[in-house]
Structure 1
Amino acid sequence: MMEAAPIEAAHNDYRVDRWTNGIAVSATDPVAEEVPVALVYNGIAHAVMLATPQDLEDFAIGFSLSECIVERRDEIYDLEVAVRDNGIEIRIDVATARAFALRVHRRTMAGRTGCGLCGSESLDRFDRRSSVVRASAALSATALSLAQSQLGDMQSLFQLTGAVHAAAWCNVAGDIQLLREDVGRHNALDKLIGAVAAQGDGFGDGFVLMTSRASYEIVQKAASVGIAVVAAVSAPTGMAVRLAEAAGVTLIGFARGARHSVYSHPQRIH
């Protein structure tokens, strides 16, 4: 049997039978893609993530920052995206000191199972690596509503497929500056973090708006780069609330129109 060609597009058309009132009509649907993406640092494989194959340079930069593999964008010296028969490989060259620290960490992970983002080892890392976010990033409820009103029109892949999450970077006035999409909410946030960092911008004077629930890894990644406010259209988890409180992050859930719920550090919202 001939091997399937590697997937490089964010979406492809697939045949579908659409049923309505007992009648089937043959058609094609745009379907969001997810492919294995291997992150390789200084020649050493670190992680394989399932991600939508777009904005992968942003993804690599954002993942490197949010997972504290590097502390600054300029510690990434080179980055190359290579399509393989069984997925995509991103080769990232980082500062020698950061690569050494990564190798030491990998040795502590020997014998572990799981996704690499969850479990007690990862939570211990969060406690050690995430300082308390000090940025004020004060914003009004009106700004939050304004950002939500712009969100739908900017989700081009979601409009086509209905299958992806979005992470938007907004200024304190409520204008969306950047938006990234992915099948994984944490991947979408990594892509957004990478896009902001690639522009040379900081994370102190804005907020993130997510189309997903606010889970602990969203707060973890935001806190790691100094994002002060995270708003989600759906609910937070209890662990996310506790992490947000400890890390100095204002966590907002159920951000829908003129309504929202602030779960931690409400002083930034007026």
Structure 2
Amino acid sequence: MGLTPDCQPIHSIFRWSSMNTRPRGALRIQASRSESVVDTLAVEAPLQVNINGRPWTTTMRTPGDDPFLVRGMLFSEGLLTDPAAELGWQPFDDPESGHIAAVDLTVAESALNQPFEDRRAQMSVSSCGLCGIRQWRDLFPGDFSPRLNGQIQLAADLIPAAMADLHHGMRAFGESGGCHGAAAYTARGRRLALFEDIGRHNAVDKVIGSLLSRDQLHLAVLLAVSGRISYEIVFKAFRARLPVLAAVSAPSSMAVEMADAFGLTVLGFCRDTRLTVYSHPERIKAQAQPRSRTARRRAAAPAPAGRRDQP
């Protein structure tokens, strides 16, 4: 069965609900039945970034909060040496979609790691946060920060609460099922920022850029992300000096190795009351659960003759 004429963009029928999502006519097939439906898709569109008249990169992202995205990207990739540097912003809209398609930034040369033009060699796709980096040393500029340390501790029960808050705050994901989310929290669990994007690294950059713009980065302790943790997410968290990184899914092997070296606490599979700590567990304070009266009686009772308790 081929696609019907119903499977067409329906911009003229419905207004876009937001810059993050758009409706789309589709054909839904279940068993032997089919029906025309209106589904919701996460928006993915290119953004070309020029710095002081020189091209730097084109990244695929979900439109919206682009100033936060660009500031966070410049900072987390080590191009912006002064977090408070003023960014002159000249956007150019795509006349068809109304989204920003390109932006010319004006930044003081003294606030940039030089040279920056050759640090990226290609377009960055939405699934890759450091695509186009030519050499590993480009990830470690001259002002590379020392490893994280300090005595900050988080109560283990704060992590599930933050993950639940992130999930409930992801409206574009609720509409489309196609967005990632990231959020930053204080040591007491207060949310500082939450953003969504089709690329999880973009969502992280939006969080970092927002915190920088509002001078709140120093308040953030926990970065919570949907999906998995890859090395570029660890690197961005480290650049932002965020000591605890938690995700609903698993970290990669390189992510954990980098976190070990950077002094970053990485937590995976943060679901309900369960989580797994892969690096620097000293920052997570687990509260001992009181045992029930029945459990205490069983622990005190002698083992039956001939029985060998298992470790």
Q: Do they superpose with TM above 0.5?
A: yes
Larger Cα-atom Rg: 2
Which one has a larger percent helix, Structure 1 or Structure 2? 1
Instruction: Using the TM superposition, name which of 207-216 and 112-121 deviates more.
Output: 112-121
* Aligned CA-pair RMSD: 2.5
Task: Tell me the percent identity.
Answer: 29
Q: Quote the offset at 1:74 in angstroms.
A: 2.0
Runs of at least 5 residues in structure 1 that lack an aligned partner in the other structure: none
Report if aligned partners of 2:21, 2:41 keep a CA contact under 8 Å in 1: yes
The number of aligned residues is 262
Match of 1:48 in 2: 58
TM-score (norm 1): 0.88
Which one has a larger percent strand, Structure 1 or Structure 2? 1
Report if aligned partners of 2:58, 2:122 keep a CA contact under 8 Å in 1: no
Q: Deviations over 1:182-207 (max 9, x none)?
A: 00010110011111111111245421
Classify the secondary structure of the residue corresponding to 1:243. Answer: helix
Report if aligned partners of 2:181, 2:200 keep a CA contact under 8 Å in 1: yes
Q: Quote the offset at 1:98 in angstroms.
A: 3.4
Match of 1:262 in 2: 277
1:193 and 1:36 map into 2 onto residues whose CA distance is 20
Classify the secondary structure of the residue corresponding to 2:154. Answer: coil
2:82 and 2:188 map into 1 onto residues whose CA distance is 26
Is residue 194 from structure 1 mapped to residue 216 from structure 2 by the alignment?
no
Is residue 71 from structure 1 mapped to residue 81 from structure 2 by the alignment?
yes
Q: Quote the offset at 1:255 in angstroms.
A: 1.1
Match of 2:90 in 1: 80
Match of 1:125 in 2: 138
Instruction: Using the TM superposition, name which of 168-177 and 81-90 deviates more.
Output: 81-90
Q: Quote the offset at 1:143 in angstroms.
A: 0.6
Choose the corresponding residue for 2:117, options 106, 118, 132.
Answer: 106
2:276 and 2:103 map into 1 onto residues whose CA distance is 38
Q: 1:122 to 1:136 in 2, by over 3 A?
A: farther
Report if aligned partners of 1:232, 1:254 keep a CA contact under 8 Å in 2: yes
Report if aligned partners of 1:145, 1:257 keep a CA contact under 8 Å in 2: yes
Report if aligned partners of 1:171, 1:207 keep a CA contact under 8 Å in 2: yes
Match of 2:106 in 1: 93
**Higher RCO, Cα 8 Å, sep 6+:** 1
TM-score (norm 2): 0.77
Classify the secondary structure of the residue corresponding to 2:102. Answer: strand
1:177 and 1:97 map into 2 onto residues whose CA distance is 30
Is residue 174 from structure 1 mapped to residue 189 from structure 2 by the alignment?
yes
Q: 1:136 to 1:65 in 2, by over 3 A?
A: farther
Classify the secondary structure of the residue corresponding to 2:174. Answer: helix
2:210 and 2:53 map into 1 onto residues whose CA distance is 24
Q: 1:122 to 1:244 in 2, by over 3 A?
A: farther
Runs of at least 5 residues in structure 2 that lack an aligned partner in the other structure: 1-10, 286-311
Q: 1:123 to 1:259 in 2, by over 3 A?
A: farther
Match of 2:8 in 1: none
Q: Deviations over 1:229-266 (max 9, x none)?
A: 11111111111111111111111111112111111111
